[in-house]
Structure 1
Amino acid sequence: MSEASHKQALYELVCRYAQAVDQRDWTALARLFTSDAVLQGPGFDFQGVEAIVAGMSGLGRFSLTQHHVHNHLADVEELEAQAETYCVANHLYEADTGTRKLDWGIRYRDRFACIDGLWRITRRELLLDWSQDLPLQGAAQ
């Protein structure tokens, strides 16, 4: 497999993470990580894939999320890789004043391992660069 193929596979992996989280597909999410993976961010530290899935299921408090994956730069060395990925995550929720939209500007710092020909996340660190919480403009379906 070429370096470009590995980088494409890593990009698809981080996109599948966004899709699994937004669709609340916890089985698909679990397949993206190694069993001993770590997911850390502001106020959370999930150790192991079971803790990651349990922790991420807390997103159920939002009526909808959309993670938009942007810049993704990866460095591949044989069967290991690291990357930084930019993401804007939208979270809709209900408040006394109506529907609100919490937006996060995220940078993920990731480490990956290629196991049996498939890339998996071994460590994901969520860095929150900015956030805003505004009334939703327009109808949410």
Structure 2
Amino acid sequence: MSTESEIRGIVSRYTRAADRRDGEALAKLFEADAVVEVHHRGPDGDELLGTLSGGAQIAAAMSTAMAPHPPLGWSHHTTYDHLVSVDGDEASIETQFITFDVVGTPKPEGGWPLGTFGAQGTIKPIESGYYRFAFRRTDGVWRVRHLGVIHDIPYVF
């Protein structure tokens, strides 16, 4: 597997852990002293909203700071336009993201009405922006050492 594929794979595992609100799985992707900075891209440049330091704090934020999913609810993070750079044991990726809020319609007690067809529920975009990951390879394993999350719209952290 190429280094670029490994780096993209870590981003994919990050988004899946975020969707599951699985702080433990997410923390395994980070170095023990990694830093996450959350920003809002405003008219005067990026505004730092908050910082998470270390795997334990990053895991706790993912597991508890994000609202739990409602019944039949889920979030779905997508990333695209990956720009990967590799220099020896250092690497980075900048990628755009959109997060969707997915909520299914409960099946009626008597079953779906005659003629009902297809997906039942709503899907709406709730956030977008950029992820800027910096990685380091130690003992052959790539881990996130820094993550900048830059939101396009105001974000409360």
Q: TM-score range by the shorter chain?
A: 0.7 to 0.9
Structure 1 unaligned regions, length at least 5: 94-98, 132-141
Q: What residue is the counterpart of 2:75 in the other structure? A: 65
Over 4 Å off, 4+ runs: 99-102
Letter paired with 2:66 = L
Higher relative contact order (CA 8 A, sep 6+): 2
TM-score w.r.t. the length of structure 1 is 0.77
Q: How is 1:10-25 mapped onto 2 (pairs within 5 angstroms)? A: 10-25=7-22
- Identity within the alignment, %: 33
Say if 1:90 and 1:100 are closer, same or farther in 2 by CA, change over 3 A: closer
Deviation, 1:119, is 1.0
Supply the distance in 2 between the matched residues of 1:120 and 1:68 (Cα, whole angstroms): 20
**Corresponding position: 1:123 with 2:120:** no
Supply the distance in 1 between the matched residues of 2:17 and 2:34 (Cα, whole angstroms): 17
**Corresponding position: 1:110 with 2:117:** no
SS of 1:55's equivalent in the other structure is helix
**Corresponding position: 1:50 with 2:47:** no
Supply the distance in 2 between the matched residues of 1:81 and 1:23 (Cα, whole angstroms): 26
Q: Deviations over 1:79-126 (max 9, x none)?
A: 001120111012468xxxxx8956111201111001221211100000
SS of 2:150's equivalent in the other structure is strand
TM-score w.r.t. the length of structure 2 is 0.70
**Corresponding position: 1:84 with 2:107:** no
Letter paired with 2:150 = L
Kindly report the root-mean-square deviation, in angstroms, between the aligned alpha carbons of the 2 structures.
2.2
SS of 2:152's equivalent in the other structure is strand
SS of 2:21's equivalent in the other structure is coil
Supply the distance in 1 between the matched residues of 2:61 and 2:21 (Cα, whole angstroms): 12
SS of 2:144's equivalent in the other structure is strand
Q: What residue is the counterpart of 1:30 in the other structure? A: 27
State which drifts further: 39-48 or 11-20. Answer: 39-48
- Normalized per residue, the structure richer in helix is 1
